Structure 1
Amino acid sequence: MKSIFPKEILCFFILLISFCTSAQNKSDRDLTLIDKDWRFSFGHLYDTQKDFGHAEGYFSYLTKTGFGDGPAASGFDDRAWRKLDLPHDWAVEQSFSEKASYSHGFKTAGKGFPEKSIGWYRKKISIPESDKGRIISLKFDGVFRNSKVFFNGYFLGTEESGYNGFEYDVSAYVNYGGENTIVVRVDASMEEGWFYEGAGIYRHVYLQKTNPIFVIENGAYVTSEIKENSAEITAEVTIENKGNDKGSVEITQTIFDAKGKQITTISENVEAPDFYKTVNSTSKLSVKNPLLWDIENPNLYRLETQIKQNGKVIDSYGTSFGIRTIQFDAEKGFFLNGKSVKLKGTNNHQDHAGIGTALPDELQYYRIKKLKEMGSNAYRCSHHPPTPELLKACDELGMLVIDETRLMGINDYHLSDLKRMIERDRNHPSIFCWSVGNEEWNIEGNIVGERVTNVMQGFAKSIDSTRPVTVGISSGFKSGISSVVEIMGYNYLGNGDIDAHRNEFKNQPGMGTEEGSTFATRGVYFTDDAKHYQSAYDKKPRSTFYSIEEGWKFYAERPYLAGVFFWTGFDYRGEPTPYGWPSVTSYFGMMDVCGFPKDNVFYLKSWWGNEPVLHILPHWNWSGMEGKEVDVWAYSNCDEVELFLNKKSLGKKKMEQNGHLEWKVKYEAGTLEAIGFKNGKKVLTEVQKTTGNPEKIKLSVDKENLPNSSVVVVTAEITDKKGLHVPTANDELTFSIKGGKILGVGNGNPTSLESDKFIDDIKLVAINNLKEKELASADLPDKIQDDADNEWNDAFKDRDYKKQAPSYVYKGDFELKNNLDSNIVTFFYKKIGKETVVFVNGNKVESSKDDAQKYILNKSILREGKNTIYIATTPLEKIKDWDVMNTDPGIIQVVTPAEPWKRKLFNGYAQIIIQKEEGVKEVSLTASAKGLQSASLKLK
């Protein structure tokens, strides 16, 4: 029978049937982390030649589909680029400069540094033929910032903000059964915040494969209602159909406890959505005698959503969640699971010493553990959505979270960001409040702020009705945002009359979203403005700001205030108030950028924690100050504290609630001892001793590390011959490692301009002035002799590819500066001929065994300054008239090996963050310094 369909339509149906069949043969989803083995190089902000010729093509990637050029093209040669693993922050790798951004810690990246503003990332992946019919997508947790993503030369999209996660479907562009190229161009020239933000792909990247019918990204939403001894769980799931299958699918929702035991399950049948449409399905499940999530016992459950078609599982989607209740009361504050909880919080940015913003997951846990040890129970994400791993750590460790969007506004740019944040994060039990803004001074006190807040607040409620909304406000608490926001966020009690606002809006709950902003340098007890060091005693920093003690007392004494978030838990890069250059980090933290505690930690631990605390400051190494008075403070939650100097009592004092104790002590070397009493009994003793000279290095593994972690934080310190920590030691240590690698080093010194990382320096040197000369024979020469310049013509100019010479020799030059003996110089040849012979400065060079187009150049044949390269080849031939022939001979890569890892101690401490190599049984870290006994640390 003759077909009634045109041939083209028949072919389409055959392809469609093939697509659907393949899809039906593929079940479930694969989510693969693809952080390893990327290539990276700097481009340029405005010089397209320095940006590898990107966007110079006749057709650009925005003109016609598939015309990504320069590094965006799949065939681009990136062999000379640096090889690295993600997450990666290129800003932290740069040096410091007074001309660089104050906000970003004076790192030479971003605006003002066009050669360090653009970063290119490339990665090759293989996708098997068997994946045809699946939906293939790339998932990025965050790229700072203004990223453009390409796949096999096809432009996928742009994400401006550095804090949003995003996803691209690449199914149509995949080279199934072969190699595929992912390319990301990152433009970090513009700052998004006023604090250090890093640069690059600083969060995780994933490759996802699903059936065409699948649960959409962040497509499960779990809420709970506690009724007597059970919790009624509502599980809403959104599925999409990117294929052509019709009919019914079965959705099964199953809840598991933390040990993997099935608690309950339910199934229902729904009609599959139409092509590229979605459908929602809501299920009700019951959990009897639920284990509630709270700060002390962060119990978690897992919802497993399965989609079945014809009895076969075609997608599985997991969602972690917790069961708990939250409530704000305008009179009594905040309640978790019906229990009154005073919020004891800190604000935090996302960078860490030596690492910048590209934190390994383990460091998220490390930092939250540090805060919990201080007694903190709440964390405000300042001022943007965090990386997902931070929220995971807060869920698992028991830390309440205010999740904050980046920018206030009512248009798609603002609301889309808010929607993505809430949909991504709304299943985290740790999150108790959404923040839709922070210190928007231009609109805080006027009708525009009121209108914007009403829109954002209502919009947030439409996505998640289970949590309230707040805004951090600092320009007075009278009108505008303050009058309409659900939970009032007070930023600094000196900025307005909090009690007066509360009396006017008695039905509006409130909390201190920012307080403190005190200045302190760890281990420093006399302010030295010349050195940019601030005393660590808790003092009022400015006339309208209050000390940590003053702030905590204010909020602790007012039941109607839910609690307070101090600025900040950790120091961070940038905002070096009250100074500027050469200060490169803030002074606000309870801890420094490494997480080493300042003395304020022990004040908060005394009144935030549950354990007995006794801490005295300062240290007792004050040579040259004999007979002079030194302020001695005690932080404690004991009833009384008695102070002794060399066994002589200096008096017993009664501790005031939420206070501290002070003595004036004339310095003499020896032992300063404090004894804490509860109910008249000695319960704690704290000692500060005058130490001997520095003699030994000590390395120790911080207790906050995760067990069996591949990333480990190590503390380096100096002791005297008796093993006492020397609090004034500032020696420079050199580190070496076997069985792993060092990720970063730090010391908490706000004025340190030392390198955070010690990595090989890679420079790419172009071959210039390329000339050519025809050869009469196809036999390529073994020797080369330079002829007069007038015998050479511009290479490839007016080349007639139908009438080529038997062979050609090309000549170019390249410049070498600082041609050190340790440098490794390599020529990465890009094929401009079939058979090839290469000469440098008249010397024939052989290609590498691992790569026939790679030539490692011996130091003995290279010159400082101008070098000449000759390439003799038999010519390439055009197969088709429209073929574009390569005319680029390649690039010279100069690698200067890194210096040994090193860092000065600051007031007795430095930090090393190391990563174990896969499959290695033992890691060995060694530290050495001139005049000190070295130390080694072995990690199994």
Structure 2
Amino acid sequence: MTRFKPDLRNQPLNTDWRFFRGDAPDYSSPSLDDAAWRAVDVPHDWSIEDLPGSDPALNAVVRDADTAPIWQKVTEAPVLIGPFDARLNDNRTSRQNANSFMSAYTVNGVGWYRKRLQLPSLSDDARVEITFDGVYMNSQVWLNGVMLAEHPYGYTAFTVDLTPHLRRDGDNVIAVRVANLGRNSRWYSGSGIYRHVWLDIVRNAGFEQSGLTVTTPSVSASTATVQVVARTVNAPADATLVTRVRDQAGRTVAETTGSPASASTLALSRPKRWSPETPNLYTVECELRSGDRVLDRMSSPLGVRTVEIDAANGLRINGKPYKLRGGCVHHDNGLLGAAAIDRAEVRKVELLKARGFNALRSAHNPSSPAFLDACDRLGILVIEESFDMWHLAKNPDDYHLYFDGWWKKDLTTMVRRAANHPSVIIWSVGNEIPERGEEDGVATAKMLVDEVHRLDPTRPATQAIPSFKVAGQTKTLDEIFNAAAAPVDVVGYNYQLKRYDPDHQLYPNRVMIGTESFPKEVDLIWRQVDRSPYILGDFVWSAMDYLGEASIGRVGLDGDARGQQDYPWFAAWCGDLDLIGQQRPQSLARDVVWGLSELEIAVQRPIPDGKEETPYDWGWRDELPSWSWAGAEGKTLSLSVYTRADRITVEVNGRKVADQALKPSETFMNEVPVTYEPGRLVVTAWRSGRRIARRTLETAGPATALRLSVDRARLANSRDELAYVTASVVDAAGRLVPDAVHVVELESVGPVELAAFGNANPRGVASFRQPVAKTWHGQALAIIRPKGPSGNASLTIRSKGLAGGVVRVSIG
């Protein structure tokens, strides 16, 4: 059992919970025998777990969805497998399970968590609080059979004071009911206590939750002024506030003592400023004292930087111009579901930074503390978003039911918890709000923006405005758009590339930002953004693939019905990176558009004669960086060449088959017809007669082995840690076999457990919790998590007919 300490904040309360998927009136009772309930640690998402009746043996069955082109309709998916239930396709099975394709055909419902809590000896003035970083959704919290709190919104933190009902000298029972019911989300939400839980044991006199606001009113290369406002409760008349700033080495670089009733001002000499390239961080520490006694302590991150935004010069950080190379991200972590395990949050940010992103938008809800911490450390700028709806519903059971009673508390929580993160540069008060252009919608936007400015006058506010209107609206789209734009500081444009120039002519002082865009418009968008100082940047939908909104990025053949909601599609299939973090072809194109690469290539999968491939709105044609197309010998294939070069040459098996002049001033995206024959494809890019880059693809031979790689071979012994192991099917020369589908089996030895195992196939429904999976596009991903004592662990992955692979990980 966890041992807790007095006078200490942020003590993890994540382990040894009991969980039951179901509901009954007595589940809050402290006398309930919950020994038969399942032991879980949080963060935990029950909707990604296997459903009752799911047969684990189904994971080893290869079906048409595993082998067919992504544009081909499939028919062999089981009705029930892992967390997926095809019966949700009709939206009528039950109120508990009504989200269907929006929530990836997973099951929501009601679940209960219980935990026994033994506390140390407490002082008479002790205050004990529990904070939930995120529970989806409609949570109720009991202590010793007494309900203490309810919280509808699934994406904001909330704190519950346990003190009045504590048993100070015995066991305490915390019970949490989570009710994820009805149609309440447009994407996969997950269900349960999916973020961290914390215990604070403090004094009655102390700081409020998120009680520090840290700003830097003036910054230069030689000095910076740091201002700290501390919000306290029950502070005695003689209370003093000690405030210090520590650098990344832990050294105190500034300190002052004053009254908690007034702001503390400190000066930093030659500050190390925070920016995307140099994300230098300090820590602000505050102590509330009464005489020699420390009543409470609280700390906060500090990034010393200036942010300036206007239409004439765009965005400047510390005086340097930036364009926001942005992507939208949902909160899920792929095969892990919504569980916000720290390493999963960090890895997401790492992967996207490696692909050139310098900004992310938390679509469409406040993000986790671990995500913002990662953005701070890695130098990623953030648009932190609050709501996907206000008064009008997008789904019958969504947050619109609670907006009037809860918006102010939830908005305050978002701003208070995120305001000290230097990565956050813009607040968003809403996304594609149906009533945005009507009188009441404009009033609501102004109310939200005014409250954001009151809470944080240092940052601008935006809302993401789309190009559609809802039934019954009589205003024109221009009238709706401009009414919605009026209350905000930065106007968010969703999928409205054609509006930028005419709107700038009409509103030359308007600051614009592309809050969502289609992947296929990447080249056109960035030509517009780069030449327009008044456009701060663009955020593609989406940076990383996600669960739910199934198949919005699918492709079809001409004449196909859209079929957007068809099971077994469960993922969106529109990310630059796929569900396991691998680059998709649009990411290759973006590498060139953003200047990360001079040349990238991909080959369109062969399509039936007489047909054309048609990507839907968020789609990209089915192409791979592959020259392995068995059965297409002699057929003309379409080669995508992404480059800023003015000329390319193409060779197949040493013969030049194309020598083509390009017009990089018009496009970086080119298509070249090439007749397929197995062997070696070489594309060379030239500029002014000089070779600038070369890419080579080789036909892979038969699969012979599994090659394993692990992202980190040493982990701390913490449940917040994960190791990501990629299994790739390779031939005798070590080349990836790109369309290889193999059943793979996993065995782990040592102090770890399997957290998830699967692949990136957006319609490859399966259990992600079994030690059996399949490769897709030649790859699978295993995620392992420390459990138990420190030591060494090994992970072996095997497949029939292939040489297996082993990786080793040190824990501790």
- Residue equivalent to 2:87: 99
| CA-CA distance at 1:641 after TM superposition | 3.8
Conserved in 2, the CA contact under 8 Å of 1:264 and 1:286? Answer: yes
Describe the shift of the 1:500–1:448 C-alpha distance in structure 2 as closer, same or farther (beyond 3 A): farther
Alignment partner of 1:722 is 2:730:
no
- Residue equivalent to 1:230: 223
Uncovered stretches (5+) of structure 2, i.e. residues with no partner: 52-82, 89-98, 392-402, 468-476, 553-561, 604-623
Describe the shift of the 1:653–1:919 C-alpha distance in structure 2 as closer, same or farther (beyond 3 A): farther
Describe the shift of the 1:74–1:749 C-alpha distance in structure 2 as closer, same or farther (beyond 3 A): same
Conserved in 2, the CA contact under 8 Å of 1:353 and 1:756? Answer: no
- Once the two structures are superposed, the pairs formed by residues 337-376 of structure 1 within 5 Å of their partners are 337-376=318-357
- For 1:615 and 1:366, the matched residues in 2 are separated by 26
- Once the two structures are superposed, the pairs formed by residues 466-545 of structure 1 within 5 Å of their partners are 466-475=458-467, 476-478=477-479, 479-493=482-496, 497-516=499-518, 518=519, 538=520
Output the amino acid matched with 2:527.
Answer: K
When Rg is computed on C-alpha atoms for both structures, the one with the higher figure is 1
- Residue equivalent to 1:560: 534
The secondary structure found in structure 1 opposite 2:802 is coil
| CA-CA distance at 1:176 after TM superposition | 1.8
Alignment partner of 1:291 is 2:272:
yes
- Residue equivalent to 1:408: 390
Describe the shift of the 1:572–1:677 C-alpha distance in structure 2 as closer, same or farther (beyond 3 A): same
Identity of aligned residues (%): 30
Deviations 1:530-578 (A, max 9, x none): xxxxxxxx5xxxxxxxx33333333333232111000001111111225
Conserved in 2, the CA contact under 8 Å of 1:927 and 1:935? Answer: yes
Superposed CA RMSD: 2.2
- Residue equivalent to 1:33: 12
The secondary structure found in structure 1 opposite 2:335 is coil
Conserved in 1, the CA contact under 8 Å of 2:523 and 2:593? Answer: no
Deviations 1:376-430 (A, max 9, x none): 1110010000111111110010100000112436844222211111111100100
Output the amino acid matched with 1:286.
Answer: A
Residue in structure 1 matching 2:250, options 231, 245, 260: 260
- Residue equivalent to 2:113: 121
Alignment partner of 1:645 is 2:652:
yes
- For 1:327 and 1:263, the matched residues in 2 are separated by 26
Alignment partner of 1:624 is 2:631:
yes
Alignment partner of 1:664 is 2:673:
yes
Output the amino acid matched with 2:731.
Answer: D
Describe the shift of the 1:485–1:716 C-alpha distance in structure 2 as closer, same or farther (beyond 3 A): same
Alignment partner of 1:749 is 2:761:
yes
Residue in structure 2 matching 1:589, options 561, 570, 575: 575
- For 1:704 and 1:346, the matched residues in 2 are separated by 29
Describe the shift of the 1:99–1:689 C-alpha distance in structure 2 as closer, same or farther (beyond 3 A): same
Conserved in 1, the CA contact under 8 Å of 2:645 and 2:664? Answer: no
Describe the shift of the 1:269–1:405 C-alpha distance in structure 2 as closer, same or farther (beyond 3 A): closer
| CA-CA distance at 1:227 after TM superposition | 4.5
TM-score normalised by the chain length of structure 2:
0.83
Conserved in 2, the CA contact under 8 Å of 1:697 and 1:717? Answer: yes
- Residue equivalent to 1:6: none
- For 1:752 and 1:693, the matched residues in 2 are separated by 23
The secondary structure found in structure 1 opposite 2:708 is strand
- For 1:641 and 1:704, the matched residues in 2 are separated by 41
Conserved in 1, the CA contact under 8 Å of 2:756 and 2:784? Answer: yes
- For 2:580 and 2:536, the matched residues in 1 are separated by 30
The secondary structure found in structure 2 opposite 1:924 is strand
Output the amino acid matched with 2:438.
Answer: N
| CA-CA distance at 1:308 after TM superposition | 1.3
Conserved in 1, the CA contact under 8 Å of 2:110 and 2:177? Answer: yes
The secondary structure found in structure 2 opposite 1:497 is helix
Alignment partner of 1:424 is 2:417:
yes
- For 2:349 and 2:682, the matched residues in 1 are separated by 31
- Once the two structures are superposed, the pairs formed by residues 721-870 of structure 1 within 5 Å of their partners are 721-739=732-750, 740-758=752-770
- Residue equivalent to 1:794: none
Output the amino acid matched with 2:529.
Answer: Y
- For 1:675 and 1:404, the matched residues in 2 are separated by 43
- For 1:613 and 1:336, the matched residues in 2 are separated by 30
The secondary structure found in structure 2 opposite 1:354 is helix
- For 1:297 and 1:667, the matched residues in 2 are separated by 47
Deviations 1:460-515 (A, max 9, x none): 10000000000100134543212332111000026x63322222222120110000
Output the amino acid matched with 1:748.
Answer: A
TM-score normalised by the chain length of structure 1:
0.72
Describe the shift of the 1:713–1:679 C-alpha distance in structure 2 as closer, same or farther (beyond 3 A): farther
| CA-CA distance at 1:108 after TM superposition | 3.9
Conserved in 2, the CA contact under 8 Å of 1:195 and 1:573? Answer: yes
Output the amino acid matched with 1:447.
Answer: E
| CA-CA distance at 1:707 after TM superposition | 9.0
Output the amino acid matched with 2:664.
Answer: E
- Once the two structures are superposed, the pairs formed by residues 157-168 of structure 1 within 5 Å of their partners are 157-168=149-160
Alignment partner of 1:931 is 2:796:
no
Describe the shift of the 1:704–1:369 C-alpha distance in structure 2 as closer, same or farther (beyond 3 A): farther
Uncovered stretches (5+) of structure 1, i.e. residues with no partner: 1-25, 45-50, 55-69, 111-116, 271-279, 519-537, 539-546, 759-900
The secondary structure found in structure 2 opposite 1:922 is strand
- Once the two structures are superposed, the pairs formed by residues 235-250 of structure 1 within 5 Å of their partners are 235-241=228-234, 246-250=236-240
Describe the shift of the 1:158–1:612 C-alpha distance in structure 2 as closer, same or farther (beyond 3 A): same
- Residue equivalent to 1:332: 313
| CA-CA distance at 1:594 after TM superposition | 1.4
Deviations 1:53-98 (A, max 9, x none): x0xxxxxxxxxxxxxxx12011110000111111110001143223
Residue in structure 2 matching 1:600, options 574, 586, 594: 586
| CA-CA distance at 1:624 after TM superposition | 1.3
Conserved in 2, the CA contact under 8 Å of 1:374 and 1:608? Answer: no
- Structure of higher RCO (CA pairs closer than 8 Å, 6+ residues apart): 2
Describe the shift of the 1:750–1:123 C-alpha distance in structure 2 as closer, same or farther (beyond 3 A): same
The secondary structure found in structure 1 opposite 2:773 is strand
- For 2:684 and 2:568, the matched residues in 1 are separated by 41
> Which stretch shows the higher mean deviation, 636-645 or 248-257?
636-645
Deviations 1:29-56 (A, max 9, x none): 3421011111111124xxxxxx2xx0xx
- For 2:456 and 2:792, the matched residues in 1 are separated by 47
Residue in structure 1 matching 2:545, options 568, 571, 583: 571
- For 2:310 and 2:324, the matched residues in 1 are separated by 13
Conserved in 2, the CA contact under 8 Å of 1:477 and 1:497? Answer: no
Conserved in 2, the CA contact under 8 Å of 1:620 and 1:689? Answer: yes
The secondary structure found in structure 2 opposite 1:744 is strand
Q: How many residues align?
A: 702
Conserved in 2, the CA contact under 8 Å of 1:473 and 1:491? Answer: yes
> Which stretch shows the higher mean deviation, 372-381 or 599-608?
599-608
| CA-CA distance at 1:320 after TM superposition | 0.6
- For 1:191 and 1:203, the matched residues in 2 are separated by 22
Conserved in 2, the CA contact under 8 Å of 1:353 and 1:745? Answer: no
Output the amino acid matched with 1:261.
Answer: R
The secondary structure found in structure 1 opposite 2:517 is strand
- For 1:301 and 1:455, the matched residues in 2 are separated by 34
The secondary structure found in structure 1 opposite 2:156 is coil
